[in-house]
């Protein structure tokens, strides 16, 4: 082993040991390394190199979610010096708008349009691609219905209300709300495939599905469409810090007086201007997770914050359920997706589960009103 290779190995070995992880150890969270260049690649490329090298078969781990959980809890990022490439990337994400209207549809093409067969095989029966609510649920279907019901109750839905779903996915929420509460509404998505299937799923109800970006809700010279309630489940992660205020202003203008807006989003504990590099490159292009500070600044002088509910630990269980379904149904999917995709998708689901388990990622449901609920809002759990 060359000196540089030995030095890289020793550095990574020490950092992993501080997290309770051994190289070629016997614990489920220990890693087995198949390529000696793994160590220098991690030092050079960080999480991007870690994910790419896994997909390429350079290393394996029986429990990637436990491995990631331990890495986060050891605060390993602060122990590895930031390289110039990463600092430059953070600078560009802070200065430039990577979530423009033109770029908004990229995540639809590259992620949500991967194939309905993939998501049907992985998700619950309603195809709900956001964190489930496991308080009393025994399985994924129950947990997702509990989440949809939780949202309906938090919004105080009543028959005849008109609801806007921003980032409606395959129409799960609008279908459920129309079926159980008698509402009508509009759903928007930046995914062509989602729009087609959502229209089919909601065809029996007074629901309109549109293939459009949230900025198209407010068109120059046209009267703003108004809604009794607005909901956005798992879409705010694609908005970007440069657009938070614009997004909130559009939601404010679209909401009737006395209306409520429920924002369901993944969040992070600290303020940043870019997401994990591997996730951004291979899973969710142009995404970023908001902080409490960023959301607070975006709603200032617009909304009253009525309720803020964190059940981020439930995303760990949700992701593991998706992971189980994906692997259980792989034999039906493998003719349409290659082995690299199999490793990539497993890595995506399990690393995200580990991040939520370590509590570095959160899941927030935030209820907002325009002028404050008279007498106060009653929180629902």
Read off φ and ψ for residue 253, nearest 5 degrees: -70, -25
Catalytic one among 61, 152, 168, 352? Answer: 352
Nearest residue to 107 via CA among 235, 246, 274, 295: 235
**Whether residue 352 lies in the annotated active site:** yes
Sign of the torsion formed by the C-alpha atoms of 134, 128, 349 and 324? positive
What phi-psi label fits residue 165: left (phi over 0), alpha (psi between -120 and 50 degrees) or beta? beta
Helices (H), the chain: 3-18, 38-55, 64-73, 84-95, 106-107, 116-122, 140-155, 172-181, 192-201, 244-254, 277-282, 292-299, 313-328, 330-333, 339-357
DSSP code of residue 26: S
Pairing of strands 32-33, 59-60: antiparallel
Write down the residue that tokens 């930046």 correspond to. Answer: 190
For residues 312, 71, 352, 319, the Cα torsion angle rounded to the nearest 10 degrees is: -70
Q: Which strand (E) or helix (H) includes residue 162?
A: strand 162-166
Question: Nearest Cα to 352, choosing from 274, 289, 291?
Answer: 289
Do the beta carbons of residue 316 and residue 356 sit within 8 Å?
yes
Matching residue, tokens 């990574």: 12
Q: Which residues are catalytic?
A: 352
């Amino acid at each position: 082993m060359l000196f540089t290779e030995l030095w890289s190995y020793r550095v990574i070995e020490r950092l992993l040991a501080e997290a309770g992880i051994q190289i070629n150890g016997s614990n489920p969270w220990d890693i087995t390394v198949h390529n000696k260049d793994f160590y220098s690649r991690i030092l050079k490329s960080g999480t991007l190199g870690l994910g790419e090298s896994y997909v390429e078969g350079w290393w394996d781990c029986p429990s990637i979610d436990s491995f990631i959980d331990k890495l986060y809890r050891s605060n390993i990022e602060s122990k590895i010096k930031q390289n110039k490439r990463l600092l430059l990337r953070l600078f560009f994400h802070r200065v430039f708008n990577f979530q423009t209207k033109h770029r908004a549809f990229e995540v639809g093409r590259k992620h949500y349009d991967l194939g309905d067969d993939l998501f049907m095989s992985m998700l619950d029966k309603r195809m709900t691609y956001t964190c489930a609510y496991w308080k009393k649920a025994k399985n994924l279907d129950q947990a997702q219905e509990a989440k949809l019901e939780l949202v309906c109750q938090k919004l105080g839905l009543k028959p005849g209300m008109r609801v806007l779903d921003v980032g409606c996915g395959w129409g799960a929420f609008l279908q459920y709300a129309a079926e159980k509460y008698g509402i009508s509404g509009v759903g928007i998505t930046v995914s062509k495939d989602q729009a087609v299937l959502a229209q089919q799923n909601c065809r029996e109800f007074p629901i309109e599905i549109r293939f459009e970006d949230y900025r198209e809700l407010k068109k120059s010279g046209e009267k703003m469409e108004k809604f009794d309630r607005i909901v956005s489940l798992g879409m705010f992660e694609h908005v970007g810090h440069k657009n938070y205020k614009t997004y909130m202003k559009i939601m404010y203008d679209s909401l009737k007086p006395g209306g409520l807006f429920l924002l369901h989003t993944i969040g992070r504990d600290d303020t940043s201007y870019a997401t994990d590099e591997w996730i951004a490159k291979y899973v969710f292009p142009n995404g970023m997770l908001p902080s409490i500070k960023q959301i607070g600044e975006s709603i200032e002088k617009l909304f009253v914050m009525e309720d803020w509910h964190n059940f981020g630990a439930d995303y760990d269980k949700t992701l593991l359920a998706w992971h189980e379904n994906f692997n259980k149904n792989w034999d039906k999917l493998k003719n349409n997706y290659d082995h690299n995709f199999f490793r990539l998708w497993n890595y995506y689901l399990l690393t995200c589960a580990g991040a939520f388990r370590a509590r570095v990622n959160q899941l927030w449901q935030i209820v907002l009103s325009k002028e404050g609920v008279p007498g106060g809002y009653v929180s629902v759990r």
